[in-house]
Amino acid sequence: MLTCKEASRLCSEALDRPLELRERLTLKMHLLLCSGCSNYNAQMARLRAISRGYAAGAFANEPAARGGSLPPDERGEGGANG
């Protein structure tokens, strides 16, 4: 039986490389029995999907995604005493 620490490590590794059969089986067994790791696994998969979408430019039109510099604010000198 995997510990939660091992299970969470396998969850994140599963996103980067194909797990071996033994790893898949032990992880699946743990996820069936452990709701915490099951939630973690689901969140990792969702985060990965979101970050892939972000990398692909899915959020390019979001203002927060633009880290560019704003145009300088042009201010005229308002001389009241002049």
Binding site for Zn ion (CB under 5 A): 4, 7, 34, 37
Judged by CB, which is closer to Zn ion: 47, or 58?
47
Cα 60 to Cα 33: distance, rounded to the nearest angstrom:
40
Using alpha carbons only, give the angle 3, 4, 5 rounded to the nearest 5 degrees.
Answer: 90
Q: How far is the CB of 48 from Zn ion (least distance, A)?
A: 19
**In the block, which residue shows the tokens 């939630």?**
39
Judged by CB, which is closer to Zn ion: 9, or 66?
9
Judged by CB, which is closer to Zn ion: 10, or 37?
37
